Structure 1
Amino acid sequence: MKKLFSSLLFVLAVGTASMNAQSTAMPQQQEKIEVNDAELAQFAEVYQQMRMMNQEVQQEMMTVVQNGDFELQRFNEIHQAKMDPNKEIETTAEEDKKYQAVVTEIEEIQPKYQKKMEEVITESDLSMERYQQMAMALRSDVELQQRLQAILKS
């Protein structure tokens, strides 16, 4: 479950930036970008704040699942099957009803955290567009990843 929602939050964090930067044309293939140490340090600070928010939202989502009278493992099994058209899972009518109620509540939580993530980025010295560029570059630029890891360790 933690992995599932972690990936969801990463998508939200990067997706938020991309939604706000969609008016600018992005090249199909990621070009290597120049990132100075100050920008990378700012990105690292935002990244750390995002990780803390990630933990908060994971806890809140787990609480929603548990309050929905679901075991985390069972909810996760059902959720993964619903997200993967190649997976089948047998559920009872009651499980389907509880699952839908939990998903609806989780979907109501997401905009709150998405807004918080946007605020963290806009309060930094990075623009949403620059944050997105850096996040995309970090996916493929090993040297940039290593520089970021060094900052995070210090």
Structure 2
Amino acid sequence: MKKFISSLLFVFAVGTASVAAQNTTMPQQEKIEVSDAELNEFAEVFQKMRMMNQQVQQEMMAVVQEEELELQRFNEIHQAKMDPKKEVETTDAEDKKYKAVVAEFEVIQPEFQKKMQQVIEESDLSMERYQQMAMALRSDAELQQRLQNILKS
């Protein structure tokens, strides 16, 4: 379940990056220059988001538990709903609980995205620059290493 929720959070984070990108069309990512100051700022934002991820993960797990649905069972149902090739038999009660959890997640997600955007906006990085750096980090091993070194210190 933790893996599932982590993947949901990844989707939320990617969704936030997508929201940030809605106003800007970026060309194919090329290697970009990132100053140490910018990378330090990015690392600070990243750490704040990591903490927010942990909080929202706990909140999401609590929602599942409040509906008296086992985390593993919720995960099975959700995977089947997301993948048309997977099938799972559910009771009416499970369907009702699952729908209630998903409805609550749909409330949590925009709040989480808004908080993530706020963290970026409160930093010295523009939303566009943050996104450029996030995209560059996906493929630039040197930049990844520099970030890891900052996060370790």
Q: TM-score range by the shorter chain?
A: over 0.9
Matches of 1:12 and 1:129, distance apart in 2: 18
1:131 aligns to 2:130 (yes or no): yes
Aligned pairs (5 A) from 1:13-32: 13-27=13-27, 29-32=28-31
Matches of 1:86 and 1:61, distance apart in 2: 26
Quote the residue 1:7 is aligned against: 7
Quote the residue 1:109 is aligned against: 108
Matches of 1:91 and 1:126, distance apart in 2: 47
Percent identity, please.
78
Moved more, 13-22 or 107-116: 13-22
Give the C-alpha shift of residue 17 in structure 1: 3.4
1:50 aligns to 2:54 (yes or no): no
Give the C-alpha shift of residue 14 in structure 1: 3.7
Matches of 1:23 and 1:52, distance apart in 2: 27
CA RMSD of aligned residues (A): 1.3
Give the C-alpha shift of residue 114 in structure 1: 1.1
Moved more, 54-63 or 84-93: 84-93
1:35 aligns to 2:42 (yes or no): no
Is 1:64–1:105's contact at 8 Å kept on the other side of the alignment?
yes
| Secondary structure class of the residue paired with 1:117 | helix
Give the C-alpha shift of residue 89 in structure 1: 1.0
Moved more, 64-73 or 104-113: 104-113
Matches of 1:11 and 1:39, distance apart in 2: 25
Partner letter of residue 137 of structure 1? A
1:93 aligns to 2:96 (yes or no): no
Partner letter of residue 49 of structure 1? K
Partner letter of residue 69 of structure 1? E
CA offsets per residue over residues 83-133 of structure 1, 9 Å max, x none? 112211111111111100111011111111111111100000011111111
Structure 2 unaligned residues grouped into runs of 5+: none
| Secondary structure class of the residue paired with 2:143 | helix
Q: TM-score, normalised by structure 1?
A: 0.93
Give the C-alpha shift of residue 25 in structure 1: 2.1
Quote the residue 1:148 is aligned against: 147
Matches of 2:128 and 2:16, distance apart in 1: 10
Give the C-alpha shift of residue 47 in structure 1: 0.4
Structure 1 unaligned residues grouped into runs of 5+: none
Is 2:20–2:131's contact at 8 Å kept on the other side of the alignment?
no
